[in-house]
Chain A
Amino acid sequence: MRDFIRFLDSYKFLMSFLILQLFCFSLILQESVFQRTILLSSVNSVTGSAFEQRDRLYSYFSLREANETLAEENLMLMDDRPISYEKVDKEYALINDTIYSKRYSFQYARVLNSTKTEMDNYITLNKGSMHGVEPRMGVLSGMRLLGRVEKVTEHYSLVVPIIHRNFKVSARLPVTGHFGVLSWSGADYRYAQLNEIPKEAKVEIGQPVVTRGSGSLFPPGIEIGNVSEVELEAGSDFYTITIALGVDMSNLNTVLLVKDLRAAELDSLNIMQSP
Chain B
Amino acid sequence: MIREIIPIVLRFISLLIIQGLLLINVDIFGGFGHLNLYILVILLLPIKSPRFLDMIIALLLGFGVDMFYNSPGLHASAAVALAYTRPFVIRILTPRDDYDFTDKPDTRSLGFSWFLRYAGSLILFHSMWLYMLEAFDLSYFLSTIWTAILTTILTLTTVLILDYLFSPKVKT
Contact = CB atoms under 8 A, between A and B. Distances in A.
Please say whether chains A and B are actual partners in one complex: yes
Interface of A: 12-13, 16-17, 20-21, 23-28, 30-32, 37, 40-42, 44, 46-47, 50-51, 54, 113-120, 122, 124, 158, 186-189, 250
Contact of B80 (A21, A41, A120, A250): A21
Contact of A27 (B31, B51, B70, B76): B76
Nearest to A158: B70
Interface stretch (B102-110, B132-140, B153-161): B132-140
A97 B73 CA distance: 53
Interface string B49-64: 0011001000100110
A3 B69 CA distance: 45
Nearest to B59: A20
Contacts of B140: 119, 186
B73 A116 contact: no
Interface residues of B, number: 35
A192 to B, nearest CB: 15
B126 interface: no
A266 B169 CA distance: 69
A228 B67 CA distance: 36
B94 interface: no
23 contacts: A13-B55, A13-B84, A16-B52, A17-B55, A17-B80, A20-B80, A23-B73, A24-B76, A25-B77, A26-B73, A27-B72, A28-B72, A31-B71, A31-B73, A32-B136, A41-B67, A41-B70, A119-B134, A119-B140, A122-B69, A158-B70, A186-B140, A187-B143
B17 A50 contact: yes
A40 B72 contact: yes
A20 B80 CA distance: 8
A16 B31 contact: no
Contact of A28 (B20, B52, B73): B73
Contact of A13 (B51, B73, B81): B51
Contacts of B66: 40
Contact of B21 (A44, A50, A158): A50
